[in-house]
């Protein structure tokens, strides 16, 4: 069974006395509702000056961007002109090489070069007839020893 105990006041005991004294010595703290302080009202002249400064900065940035784009455009045009000149030079060189190749491969030029070297046309032209080749190749493109032997035996008969 449970027994009922009488209730005691804790502040009546000397053990809790220093805490009460300490609480009494603390300064009172009060919460004050706060907020942002109102900015001092500025004159219209300050607002006009700020907006003018912003406009000047924006115009300066746009001007620098335009200058940069113009510079890039001029550089691109210069490079395009340089490439056009190089293409024209390459075409001219190609045309001159074609004419030189045509002149060097003509039979008249070849005969003149041969005579300058002291060479002459042959007196007679002959041909040599070689016997049939006995070496055989199979379907894979490799040499076939057995077919080669058959061809060799067949050519000797």
| Residue 57 structural domain | 51-119
The answer as to whether 29 is a domain residue is no
Average pLDDT over residues 47-62: 95
> How many structural domains are present in the chain?
1
Any idea of the CA torsion for 95, 100, 103, 105, to the nearest 10 degrees? -110
Q: What is the pLDDT of residues 100-156, one digit of tens each?
A: 999 889 989 888 888 899 988 888 888 888 777 888 888 888 888 888 888 888 776
Dihedral Cα 12, 18, 21, 26, nearest 10 deg: -140
Domain assignment present for 135: no
Residue 57 domain flag: yes
**Is there a contact between 144 and 137 (Cβ–Cβ < 8 Å)?**
yes
Note the pLDDT of residue 8: 63
pTM of the model: 0.39
CB neighbours (10 Å) of residue 151?
16
Q: Does residue 104 lie within any of the structural domains?
A: yes
What's the pLDDT tens digit per position in 5-52? 766 666 555 555 555 556 656 666 667 777 666 566 678 888 899 999
Considering the domain boundaries, does residue 93 fall inside one? yes
* CA 140 – CA 136 distance, rounded (Å): 11
């Amino acid at each position: 069974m449970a027994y009922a105990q009488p209730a005691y006041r804790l502040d009546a005991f000397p053990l809790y006395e220093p805490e009460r004294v300490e609480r009494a010595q603390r300064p009172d703290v009060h919460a004050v509702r706060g907020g942002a302080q109102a900015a001092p009202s500025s004159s219209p002249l300050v607002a006009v000056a700020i907006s003018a400064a912003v406009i000047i900065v924006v115009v300066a940035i746009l001007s620098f961007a335009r200058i940069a784009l113009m510079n890039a455009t001029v550089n691109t045009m210069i490079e395009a002109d340089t490439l056009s000149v190089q293409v024209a030079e390459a075409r001219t060189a190609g045309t001159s090489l074609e004419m030189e190749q045509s002149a060097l491969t003509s039979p008249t030029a070849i005969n003149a070069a041969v005579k300058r070297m002291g060479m002459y046309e042959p007196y007679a032209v002959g041909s040599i007839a070689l016997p049939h080749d006995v070496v055989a190749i199979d379907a894979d493109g490799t040499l076939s020893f057995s077919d080669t032997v058959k061809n060799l035996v067949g050519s000797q008969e």
